[in-house]
Amino acid sequence: MKTKLVELHDFFGAYFHQDWMIEHGSSEDVISSFLVESDIGILRLVQQEVDSLLNEQRSEQDLRNYLLKELSCYYCYWNEWQTGEQWLLHIANRLDITISQLGRPK
Domain count, the chain: 1
Asked if residue 1 is part of any domain, the answer here is no
Asked if residue 86 is part of any domain, the answer here is yes
Using pLDDT thresholds of 50, 70 and 90, give the confidence band for residue 1.
Answer: very low
Residues 6+ apart with CB under 8 A from 17: 72, 74
Domain extent for 26: 6-103
Contact 80, 100 (CB under 8 A): no
21 pLDDT more than 50:
yes
Asked if residue 62 is part of any domain, the answer here is yes
- The pTM (predicted TM-score) of the whole model is 0.90
